[in-house]
Amino acid sequence: GMLSANGTTLTGNDLQGIFAGNGGTTNLTNVTSTAVGVGLEGNGAGAVSITGGSYSGILTRNTASVTTNGSVTSTATVDLETTGNVDVQTGGLAGAFDLLLRPAGVATLASGTNSTYSGFTTLFSGSTIIDGMISGAGGSVLVDVPAILGGSGQVQRNLLVNGSVAPGPAAAAPGDTGILSFTGDVTFNPGSSLNVGINALGAGTGHDQLLVNGSIVVDGSLIGGATTTFADGDSFVIINNDAADGIGGNFSNAVPPSPPASLVFGAEQFDFDYLGGDGNDFVLGPTLFTDLAISKTDGTATAIPGTSTVYTITASNLGTTAVSGNTVTDTFPAACSTVTWTCVGAGGGTCTAAGAGNINDLVDLPAGASVTFTATCDIDPAATGTLVNTATIAIGAGVTELNPANNSATDTDTLTPQADL
């Protein structure tokens, strides 16, 4: 059946001002229900629709859905458990009460709504999407396990997270991004998570962001998804922190330094920085990869003491990311009594033009570039055994080496003394 009331005032000593159940639909417009107990109780009810009015608490259990419009006021706890959704469509929730949300589906505080209730907010289950505002002084918002908090609204409260925060709408990528703002202190407790979608540049339109005007501590994990790969230099401010303080703690899977630690989200791998943006933001950027390689040969398997052998040492960038500040090292064996060398670059590669003795040179290698050292080793006439020489290249800062196995090369010659007849 259906229960409808418009402009009704119910007061008294009853435990429930209004009771709805048995799957019936309940429509209440501008009703005042201030019983000694709960102003409105729905237990096993169907759809419950509330427009305006004032209640001494609202309690629903096993109720299909709850929808509110206009300013709905309560003087005691509003505890909403539904088998479906909770929708604050217009107006907002006002009064001195705690709000407890237990939807099996989604609870939504729609864009344009402004809830000013002064109590605590606890999310126990389902997803809660805040696209409107929760404003004014009030208790903190607690996201408990397994609840998820999302949306693109503004909340003027502290936030405590045991469950998950996922800014933006509860939608599939690429329509899943937004900026969720908190004016207050934010704490991610161990076991919690921040879930971010990264689809394009631009906070809100392209990727998720948590905007915090207050202190923030992150002791949970960071999870997310990227729908594509990104270019070198692209940057995503995931936590936009105010200028007053830094970010406390670390995400459990994003512990500095980075690199070598990095995060794989969908199609992309990211490096992270807790001091990014304007100096105290949490920022992601695509991990820069390349493959540096080095080769070394003197073109022979034997060498004669008392003569010279000439090594060709080539360091190359086989990948697609330019890297500067790479170090080429070659410590020549004692059997090389003197060594001189020259170097030339190709494809934009740069190195020191010439030197003597061991090589320890910083080289820059754009993608596809190389540098070639030509080193002349004067072999000691008394040398015996083998002439073993190894050259290495170490990648510069900020780029990850894809294939460390080809960062070292060794040339070995058998020394064959010749009789002086």
274-293 pLDDT, tens per residue? 998 888 999 999 888 889 99
| Pair (152, 255) in one structural domain | yes
Residue range 22-46: mean pLDDT, rounded: 91
Alpha helices in 280-334 (DSSP H): none
Residue range 86-102: mean pLDDT, rounded: 98
| Pair (347, 267) in one structural domain | no
Residue that terminates a domain, selected from 231, 265, 286: 286
pLDDT over 80 (residue 366): yes
pLDDT over 70 (residue 296): yes
| Pair (129, 107) in one structural domain | yes
Give the closest residue to 63 by CA, choosing from 120, 114, 23.
Answer: 23
| Pair (260, 376) in one structural domain | no
* Rounded Cα–Cα distance for residues 364 and 20 (Å): 75
Side chain identity at 270, as an amino acid letter? F
pLDDT over 80 (residue 1): no
Q: Which residues of 210-244 are buried (b: 16+ CB within 10 A; e: fewer)?
A: bbbbbbbebbbbbebebeeebeeeeebbbbbbeee
Q: How would residue 308 be classed by pLDDT, with cut points 50, 70 and 90? A: very high
pLDDT over 60 (residue 29): yes
Q: How would residue 159 be classed by pLDDT, with cut points 50, 70 and 90? A: very high
Residue range 220-248: mean pLDDT, rounded: 91
Residue range 158-180: mean pLDDT, rounded: 93
Structure tokens at 241: 């922190």
Structure tokens at 44: 């096993």
| Pair (144, 254) in one structural domain | yes
Residue that terminates a domain, selected from 235, 256, 286: 286
**Domain residue limits at 137:** 2-286
Residue range 201-213: mean pLDDT, rounded: 96
The pLDDT score that the predictor gives to residue 3 is 84
Q: How would residue 356 be classed by pLDDT, with cut points 50, 70 and 90? A: very high
Structure tokens at 128: 């809660």
Q: How would residue 410 be classed by pLDDT, with cut points 50, 70 and 90? A: very high
| Pair (277, 339) in one structural domain | no
Name which of 136-140, 194-198, 236-240, 272-276 the model is least confident about: 272-276
The pLDDT score that the predictor gives to residue 418 is 81
Note whether residue 115 is domain-resident.
yes
Residue range 3-17: mean pLDDT, rounded: 82
- The residue ranges of DSSP E strands in 22-123, in sequence order, are 25-29, 32-34, 38-43, 47-51, 54-55, 58-63, 65-69, 71-74, 78-82, 86-88, 92-95, 99-103, 106-109, 114-115, 121-123
* Rounded Cα–Cα distance for residues 262 and 280 (Å): 19
Structure tokens at 73: 């006021």
Note whether residue 421 is domain-resident.
no
Question: Number of folded domains in the chain?
Answer: 2
What 3-state DSSP class applies to 247? strand
Q: How would residue 420 be classed by pLDDT, with cut points 50, 70 and 90? A: low
Residue that terminates a domain, selected from 286, 303, 334: 286
| Pair (129, 12) in one structural domain | yes
Which residues, other chains included, contact 209 with Cβ-Cβ below 8 Å and sequence gap of 6+?
A: 167, 178, 179, 180, 196, 203, 237, 238, 239, 240
* Rounded Cα–Cα distance for residues 343 and 410 (Å): 19
| Pair (180, 327) in one structural domain | no
| Pair (17, 121) in one structural domain | yes
Half-sphere exposure in the Cβ direction for 167 (13 Å, CA): 28
Residue range 357-375: mean pLDDT, rounded: 97
Angle (CA) 390-391-393 rounded to 5° is: 145
pLDDT over 80 (residue 419): no
* Rounded Cα–Cα distance for residues 394 and 414 (Å): 28
CA distances from 186 to 158, 245, 294 (A): 6, 12, 49
Residue range 359-381: mean pLDDT, rounded: 97
pLDDT over 60 (residue 421): no
Whether the pTM exceeds 0.95: the reply is: no
Name which of 11-25, 32-46, 81-95 the model is least confident about: 11-25
* Rounded Cα–Cα distance for residues 82 and 86 (Å): 7
Out of 258-262, 272-276, 299-303, the most confident range is: 299-303
Q: Look at the alpha carbons of 199, 201, 206, 212 in this order and tell me if their dihedral is positive or negative.
A: positive
The pLDDT score that the predictor gives to residue 233 is 82
Read off the CATH number of the domain in which 344 is found.
2.60.40.1530
Burial class of residue 32 in the structure, from the number of CB atoms within 10 Å of its CB (0-12 exposed, 13-18 middle, 19+ buried): middle
| Pair (327, 265) in one structural domain | no
How many angstroms from the chain centroid is the CA of residue 222? 5
| Pair (338, 261) in one structural domain | no
